[in-house]
Structure 1
C-alpha cells in the first residue's frame, strides 16, 4: 500500500520544532519556538492541551509517564503527565539544549547542548552518568545504544563520534557533518539512531544517503539512497520493530526503506519544501510517522509499512503483548521450528512469521540468523555527483560555477521562477549575461569560449558560444540518460551521464566522441583539450585523464584523507588537482602517477566551524584561490564574498627552520611551477648549500650539488667552499664537474634527446617517457635552458684606468682567513655570477682571461690545458709559470681595451691563506711609519 500524507497542521511559531510520542502511542507531544508544549490526541485534534514553559522550547522527550522539556533557561525540566506539574530539574547547561533522547530499554536521558557538551543523565537527576566534552563545536544530536554500551554524538566541528560508555573513550570518528558555529544556523542536524531491538547497527545521514554501520567493528554494512533525493539528508530514525528506516532531507523530502531488502517504500515531498526538524514513529508499530518542520507545522505519514495503518495497529499491538507474556508458548514454537524440516516450498514458516511480525532476533548462535542483511551495496556510487566550485541545488540563491573566467549564479523566486546571471572577471572578454531559466538548469560550466548549461530531467545540454556571433546550440540526451556532471573548456565541452557515458563535443556543437567510464561519475574538470573525470568503482574513487584530441585515457586512484570525500576537482598546468573535505589539496603528476600534497586549507581556518570554498588552484603563482566561509560550507551570494589567495606548501618536516623552508621551496618549484624563476631557485639552492657548509656537514653539501646537477651553480659552490677554507669539499666539487662532463660525452645523441643530464643508470627506464624529465631534481632542466638563452650577461661597469695604468691603492684586499658573518650573506658579485650566462664571447685564445676573472678561476678553468702544454713542469713550477702567464695576458688585455677591471690580480699564487697587498699600498704604509 502506498504511503499517504496527512495535511499539515499549524503547531507552533516559525522556528525549530520538536515532536515525540507517549509510550502508549495515544498522544503526540510537540514544543516550539513560541515556548509552548502541546499535547495532541491526533493530528486532527483541533483543541490540543497547551502549556507555556518559557520563551522558547527546543526539545521534548517522553519517558516513564514523565515529560522532559528543554527550557529557555538552559535546563532539562521534568513534568508529570498528564497533569503537567513540575517534577524537578534533571540537568543544567550553559547554553541552549539542542536535543533530549532516550530508548524504551534504558533508564537514562541523553542531552546535548550548544556549549559543546553532551551528557547521559539519570532520570532522577543528580550528577550525570557520562559527560562528553571533547567536542569543538555545538553538539547537534545524540543517540544511545539500547544496552547502554555505546553512545553517538554529532557536533558542529564536522565530526560524528562514537563513545564507549563503560570506558568513556571515543572508539570511532567520522567526518560527515557540515561545519557550523551555532545550532540555529544548522540545516543538517545529523540525527542518527541505533537499531532498537539489539543495537547491532548504527544509522547516520551522510550527504544524500543513509549509511549503516555494524556496532561490532563500526565498518560500513549498507547504504540507503534514492535517485529522487536531490539534497542532503538531515536525520534518520529506525521504526520500533527495527525493520524500517525513515530519513528526511533539508528540502522536506521523507523516505522510508525496508532494512532487510533495501526497498524504498516511498518518498513524500513536503508541500512547502521546508526543512524537517524532527520525526517520531508511533510506538504501536502501526506504520505511522509524525514530523515537524522549521515553519512550526505538524505532519503525519500513514501506511509506512506498506499496509493499512488503521487496521494493523491494534492487531500488532495485541500480538506483541501476547507473545511477551507467554514465554512457554515461545519455547514450544522454538522447538518446533528447530526440529521441523520440510521440502515443500509453500510450507508455512512459523519462524518467518514471528520475526517479520515482531522483529525478533534469534539468540541461539547454533541456528542461522533470522535476519539476513546484504552488507555489500550493489551499484551504489562511492559519492554523489557534484559540480566543482558550486553550491547545493536547494538554495534559493546559489553559485552554479565560479572559476578563473567568471561567476554563474542562479536565483529562484518564491513563485518558482528562476534566472541565471553570468559575470565575467574580464569585461573585455564578454559582457554580462542574464538568462531566464525556463529549462530549470542545475549545472553550469564556464570557459573563455563557451557557457555550458545542463538540466537533469528531461536531460538537455545547452551551450552559448562566447566567440564570434554568440551562437547557441543544444543537444538532448537519450530518454534513458541523465546528465550528472558537466565541464567546458576552450577546446571541448564534456558531460557525464548516469549511464556512465562521457560525451565530448566541440565548443560549437560537433559531437566528437563517446567514452564509457568504469564507474558512476562523480565530477568533471578540464583545461584546454585535457579532461579529468572522477568516478566511483569498487568502493574507491578513480580519476581518468582524457585527451580530447587523441582520445587517450589514463586512470589513477584518487588519494583522499581518511574518512574524507572529494570536494573539488580541477585541471592545472601540471595536471589534475583535487581537494577533499578534510582540506587537503593534491596534484597528480601524470609522468609518475603520484599524488603530491600541495596545500592544507584547514590550517588557514580561523575557527573550527569555518571552511574554505575553493575557486581555483594556480600553479604558476603558487596560490590556491578560495573563499572563507564562516560557520558554513558554502559562501553567500549577497554580498559578493572576497576571494583569498592561500599559498601552496609541500608538507615537509621542520618547516619552522630555515633549512626546511628552503627545501620546501625547491621541492615545490620542481613539482608544481611550470615556469620556474631560475634566479630565485639558484639563490635558494646556494643558501641551502651555505647552511650545510656552515653546519660542517660537507657530505650533505656535496649531496645537494649532486641532486641539483646544475653546471652553472657548481663552480660558484666550489668557490664558496674554498673561501670558507674547505678545500677538500672544493676539490670534490671540481671532480664532480669532470665526472658530469665524461658522462655526457659517453651518452649518444639519441639518449641525450630524452635523458639529457640524467644519471646513466636511469636512462633505460626514462627513454620510454614521452616528455623530458628534469636533469635536476629541484631545478627543471627545460625551464633552466629557456632562462639561460634569454638571460642577459650582468657584468660590473668597468672603471677607466688612471694614466700609466696605476692600480687602485684604496681597494680592500680579500681576506680568506676572515670568518664569514653569515652563511647566507653572499656578496653581490656572487649573486651576479649565479645568474651570469654561459654565452662565450669571441676569443681566439682559450687562455685569455674573461672580464673580471681572478687567477683562481682562470687557473681552475684552464688547468687541464695548461698541464697538457707543460707536462714537464712540477706542480709548483707550473703554478709559478701560470701566474706569469696570467699577468702577461691580463696586461695585454688592459693595453688593448684601455680599461681596467674591478678585481685586482694577486702577485703570488694563493699558497697560504694570508692576504696579499699591492706594492703601492705596502710602500705607503712603510713611508707613514
Structure 2
C-alpha cells in the first residue's frame, strides 16, 4: 500500500526497549533506549540526528519541553538536558529503585517520577529542592500522567488501581481511587495501563484487562463510551490526536489501529508491525504519528490518517466521547461549552435526540447513536433566528400557519432593532483578578499583594489558600470553606470573600454572604460576616483601605465599613451590574447601558467619593471598540482608574475628578509590543495591576486565556502609548543595512526617524502622566515625593521639547514653522526655556527661527496669548 511505503524506519538505538517524545512545538523528536545516549531528530529533515552522549543506560522514559528534555533510567536517575548545547543541565532526582515512567506538566515546571518505590515524587524542574510526595498507593507505580492543566496527576499502580491526585495545594491530596479499570501488571511489563487524558480535559481513558480502551468522565467518575479494539493481545501504547478526534492504539499482536473518537469506529488498521510498539506520540500539528518498539527502531509515519479521514485532524478541539455530558445532566438536552469563562473559547456539543425506549428499531438505525441522521442533513434548514425559513410545528405535530406571515405587512419588514427576535447582548458580570474553574481549582484573586485560590473537594466543601509575596510582613493562611466562596479581594489590610445563595429549593436556600477577614488586629477578633437579603446574589466585590463594596443581582450597590457597618445602599442606574473597583474613599461601578451599533450593550461607569457622598462621573461610557469586552478594571497605586479590554489595550481615565471632562486614554497596546514584532511568539497578557507607572501582568503562552497552576511569575511592561506600528524583522534589517552604509545622509535619515518617533512618544506619555498627577494633587494634599514627581515630569516635558526642537533644526530651514510650534508648547514660567530654545536655534544657524522665538518670548512676558493679534 502507498501509505505503508511512507513509513520511515530508523535504527535509533541498540535493540531493546526504546521510547520517544515530541517537543510541544513539534520541531524536535527525542528518543532514548538501552544504550547510553539520546538522539534528537528534526521534524521534516532527513539529516542525521543530534546525539547527546554521556547519558545513563537502560532509559525507560523521556519527556521534553521546547528547550530541554528529561530522561529517566533503571538506575533511578532522572536527568535534565539542554537542547541548545546538548549538555547535562541537572540531575533532578534519584530513586533507590528503577524509574518506570516520568510525566512533565504542561508548563514544563514539574516532572512526576514513577518508580518501583511506593512513593511518586513530583519535582520542580527549575528548583530541585521543591518536591511533592504522593504516598497513598500500596504497590509500586507503572505510569504517571498530568492532565492538560497540570493540576491533577493520574497514577497507574501495579495493583490495578488508578490514584487521582490534586496538586493545587502545598500538600497534594488524593481525590479518587479508581478500581477495576486497568489491569494489574508487573512494573517491567510491556503492556500498558497508562491514563490518557482527553485533550478537552473533561475525561480520561485507559487500557482495560479485556484489551479495550475505557473512557471515564473526570467530574462524576462514571464510565462513558468504550473502544472495543479487538486486539488479540495486551495493548502496549495508545494516544489521542491533538484535537481529540482520533485515537491510535497498538498491541503486542503487532497491529496498529486508528479509531474515530466520536463513533468508536475503526478507520484503518496497520498489521505489518515488525516488533512490539512501546511508545507512540502524535505530532502536535501535522498528520504524523511516530512510534518506537522493543527492537530499538523509530518509525515516523507521515500521513498516518488516510486521505478520506484526514479532515478529522483539521477540526477544532472535539468533545470527549460521552454517553451523556456530565455538565448537562442525564438527559443531555442542552448544549454546554467545553470551556467556561469570559472571553473563553467555547466548543458546544450538539443537542442529542433521545433514543426510543424499548428494543432497537429501524428508526434508531436511521437516526444513529446520537439521534442524528448519518447523512448530517437533519439540520440543513434551521430556523435559528425566527425568520421563517423552517415551518413551525405545534404540540400536535401539525404545521402551524406561521408560514403565511403577519397580518400587518410593514411590521415584518422592520430592521433588526424593530424585530421581536432581537435580543441585545449584555456584558457578563465578572470579578477582576479571578479565573474560571479548571478541573477542581481556580484563582479567586491575583494582585501585587498576593493571591487567593480555592479547591473544590468533591462538592462537599472548598479549601481556600491565601498567599503573600511579602511573607515577612504577612503570613500565609489556609482554611476549610463550607460556604464555597466564589469571589475574593486582597489588600494590605485584609481579605474579602463572598458566596452565592446555596440550597436545592427556594425555601431551603441559604442567602448570599460577605466575609471580611483582617490580617492583623489589636483586639481578639474583628472578622465579620453579613448575609444579603433573600434572593439577592453577588455580582462583584471590591475592597479598599476604607470600605467594602458589593454589587448585587438586584442592581444594589452596598457599601460597608471595614468593621461591617452598613454605610451606603443605592440602586445602580446601569443594569445589569457588571463589576466594581475601589481605592481609599473612591468607588467605581460598571453596568450595562444602552445598545450600541454592534448590538451589544454599552458599558457605563460611575465614580464617587463615598465618604463625602460626591459623584464625580455619573453613567459615563466605558470606551470600548466594537465587539470587544472588558477584561479587568482596577485603580493604580496612585489612585487612577484603569481598564484592560479583550483587544489587549490598557487605558486610563484622565480628568475624572472634573464632571463631564473624563476621557479614556490608551497607555499600552500589548499587541504592538516589540517582543511580538518577529511574529514567532503567540502570547497574551493577564492584567494584574498598574504600579510605579508600569503594567504588571502574567504572560500567557499559546491559546491560554487564564493563568493556571503552578502559578506563573509576574511580568511588567513600561507604558507605551500607541503611535505607530512596531517595525517587523524586514524593516529592522533594512535599517541595519542603512546604518552600515557609508553615506552620512542615509545614516542620519534612518537614525533621525527612529529618534523622532521616540521623542514624540516621550512627549505624549510625559504630558499624559503630568496631567494625571496634576489632577491627583489638585484633590489631595501633595506629599514631598509627589511634589518632586511633579517637578520631574515638568522638567522632562520641556527637555523632550528641546530635543524635538533640535531634531527640527538639524532637518533644515524648511522645518522652521514646526520648530516654532514646538517652542510654543514649552511650559516656561521664568523665560529660561525660551532662552535655551533660542540658543539651540542659533547653534544651528536658524536666525529667522531665533527671531520668531524672541517675539514669542516678548509676547509671553507681556501677558499676551500667542493667538491674539
TM-score by length of 1: 0.47
Q: 1:700 to 1:386 in 2, by over 3 A?
A: same
* Alignment correspondent of 2:687: 614
Q: 1:608 to 1:557 in 2, by over 3 A?
A: farther
For the 8 Å contact 1:534–1:541, the answer to whether it is kept is: no
* Alignment correspondent of 2:570: 514
Using the alignment, how far apart are the partners of 2:842 and 2:622 within structure 1? 49
What's the secondary structure of 1:522's corresponding residue?
strand
By how many angstroms is 1:659 displaced? 0.9
What's the secondary structure of 2:841's corresponding residue?
helix
* Alignment correspondent of 1:402: 446
* Alignment correspondent of 2:553: 498
* Alignment correspondent of 1:56: 238
* Alignment correspondent of 1:661: 758
By how many angstroms is 1:435 displaced? 3.6
**1:477 aligned onto 2:477:** no
Using the alignment, how far apart are the partners of 2:445 and 2:816 within structure 1? 53
Matches within 5 A, 1:327-476: 350-352=398-400, 376=421, 378=423, 381-383=426-428, 385-394=429-438, 396-413=440-457, 416-426=460-470, 430-457=474-501, 458-466=511-519, 468-469=522-523, 471-476=526-531
For the 8 Å contact 1:247–1:255, the answer to whether it is kept is: yes
* Alignment correspondent of 1:650: 721
Matches within 5 A, 1:147-546: 154=316, 189=317, 191=318, 252-253=327-328, 285=353, 287-288=354-355, 309-310=356-357, 314=361, 350-352=398-400, 376=421, 378=423, 381-383=426-428, 385-394=429-438, 396-413=440-457, 416-426=460-470, 430-457=474-501, 458-466=511-519, 468-469=522-523, 471-511=526-566, 512-537=568-593, 538=595, 539-546=600-607
Query: Higher helix proportion, which one?
Result: 1
* 1:804-845: CA deviation from partner (whole Å, max 9, x where unpaired): xxxxxxxxxxxxxxxxxxxxxxxxxxxxxxxxxxxxxxxxxx
Q: 1:481 to 1:493 in 2, by over 3 A?
A: same
For the 8 Å contact 2:590–2:606, the answer to whether it is kept is: no
Using the alignment, how far apart are the partners of 2:540 and 2:427 within structure 1? 15
* 1:551-607: CA deviation from partner (whole Å, max 9, x where unpaired): 524233334456543222112346321112332212222354432221233434696
Using the alignment, how far apart are the partners of 2:196 and 2:526 within structure 1? 48
Using the alignment, how far apart are the partners of 1:445 and 1:641 within structure 2? 19
Q: 1:730 to 1:596 in 2, by over 3 A?
A: same
Q: 1:82 to 1:45 in 2, by over 3 A?
A: closer
Matches within 5 A, 1:543-692: 543-547=604-608, 548-549=610-611, 550-552=613-615, 553-560=617-624, 563-572=627-636, 573=638, 575-589=640-654, 590=656, 592-602=661-671, 603=673, 604=675, 608-618=681-691, 621-631=692-702, 632-638=704-710, 641-653=712-724, 657-672=754-769, 674=773, 675-676=789-790, 677=792, 678-692=794-808
Gaps of 5+ in 2: 1-177, 183-192, 216-221, 272-279, 291-302, 339-345, 374-392, 404-411, 502-510, 728-753, 774-788
Q: 1:451 to 1:724 in 2, by over 3 A?
A: same
* 1:177-204: CA deviation from partner (whole Å, max 9, x where unpaired): xxxxxxxxxxxx4x4xxxxxxxxxxxxx
Q: 1:72 to 1:588 in 2, by over 3 A?
A: farther
* Alignment correspondent of 1:14: 195
Using the alignment, how far apart are the partners of 1:580 and 1:247 within structure 2? 36
Using the alignment, how far apart are the partners of 2:719 and 2:857 within structure 1? 34
Using the alignment, how far apart are the partners of 1:641 and 1:530 within structure 2? 31
For the 8 Å contact 1:532–1:543, the answer to whether it is kept is: no
Which of 736, 739, 743 is the equivalent residue of 2:856? 736
For the 8 Å contact 1:31–1:57, the answer to whether it is kept is: no
Q: Which moved more, 1:557-566 or 1:51-60?
A: 51-60
What's the secondary structure of 2:357's corresponding residue?
helix
* 1:34-81: CA deviation from partner (whole Å, max 9, x where unpaired): 4966699x999999664478721426999xxxx9865689999489x9
For the 8 Å contact 1:502–1:515, the answer to whether it is kept is: yes
Q: 1:278 to 1:694 in 2, by over 3 A?
A: closer
Using the alignment, how far apart are the partners of 1:510 and 1:350 within structure 2? 62
Matches within 5 A, 1:718-737: 718-737=838-857
* Alignment correspondent of 1:703: 821
By how many angstroms is 1:462 displaced? 1.1
For the 8 Å contact 2:213–2:228, the answer to whether it is kept is: yes
Instruction: Tell me the C-alpha RMSD between the 2 structures.
Output: 5.5
Q: 1:587 to 1:32 in 2, by over 3 A?
A: same
* 1:734-779: CA deviation from partner (whole Å, max 9, x where unpaired): 11122234445xxxxxxxxxxxx99789xxxxxxxxxxxxxxxxxx
Q: Which moved more, 1:516-525 or 1:601-610?
A: 601-610
For the 8 Å contact 2:259–2:265, the answer to whether it is kept is: no
By how many angstroms is 1:411 displaced? 4.3
For the 8 Å contact 1:56–1:72, the answer to whether it is kept is: yes
By how many angstroms is 1:122 displaced? 14
For the 8 Å contact 1:586–1:596, the answer to whether it is kept is: yes
Using the alignment, how far apart are the partners of 2:288 and 2:577 within structure 1? 39
For the 8 Å contact 1:17–1:59, the answer to whether it is kept is: no
Matches within 5 A, 1:753-792: none
Paired residues, number:
525
Using the alignment, how far apart are the partners of 2:726 and 2:242 within structure 1? 51
* Alignment correspondent of 1:834: none
- Larger Cα-atom Rg: 1
* Alignment correspondent of 2:381: none
Using the alignment, how far apart are the partners of 1:759 and 1:393 within structure 2? 60
Q: 1:643 to 1:69 in 2, by over 3 A?
A: closer
For the 8 Å contact 1:585–1:597, the answer to whether it is kept is: yes
What's the secondary structure of 2:574's corresponding residue?
coil
Q: 1:506 to 1:699 in 2, by over 3 A?
A: same
* Alignment correspondent of 2:52: none
For the 8 Å contact 1:587–1:596, the answer to whether it is kept is: yes
* 1:712-752: CA deviation from partner (whole Å, max 9, x where unpaired): 422210122123222211111111122234445xxxxxxxx
Q: 1:126 to 1:235 in 2, by over 3 A?
A: closer
By how many angstroms is 1:448 displaced? 3.4
Using the alignment, how far apart are the partners of 1:442 and 1:82 within structure 2? 38
What's the secondary structure of 2:399's corresponding residue?
helix
Gaps of 5+ in 1: 1-6, 20-29, 100-110, 116-120, 131-138, 143-153, 155-188, 192-233, 238-245, 259-263, 269-275, 289-308, 325-344, 356-367, 745-756, 762-929
For the 8 Å contact 2:240–2:246, the answer to whether it is kept is: no
Q: 1:317 to 1:77 in 2, by over 3 A?
A: closer
For the 8 Å contact 2:555–2:572, the answer to whether it is kept is: yes
Using the alignment, how far apart are the partners of 1:14 and 1:557 within structure 2? 51
Using the alignment, how far apart are the partners of 1:483 and 1:520 within structure 2? 12
By how many angstroms is 1:689 displaced? 1.1
* 1:445-503: CA deviation from partner (whole Å, max 9, x where unpaired): 12334421101123101113456536122221111111121100112211111222222
Using the alignment, how far apart are the partners of 2:805 and 2:541 within structure 1? 49
* Alignment correspondent of 1:334: none
Using the alignment, how far apart are the partners of 2:287 and 2:624 within structure 1? 31
For the 8 Å contact 1:501–1:517, the answer to whether it is kept is: no
By how many angstroms is 1:688 displaced? 1.2
Using the alignment, how far apart are the partners of 2:458 and 2:230 within structure 1? 33
Q: 1:314 to 1:661 in 2, by over 3 A?
A: same
Q: 1:681 to 1:59 in 2, by over 3 A?
A: closer
By how many angstroms is 1:412 displaced? 4.6
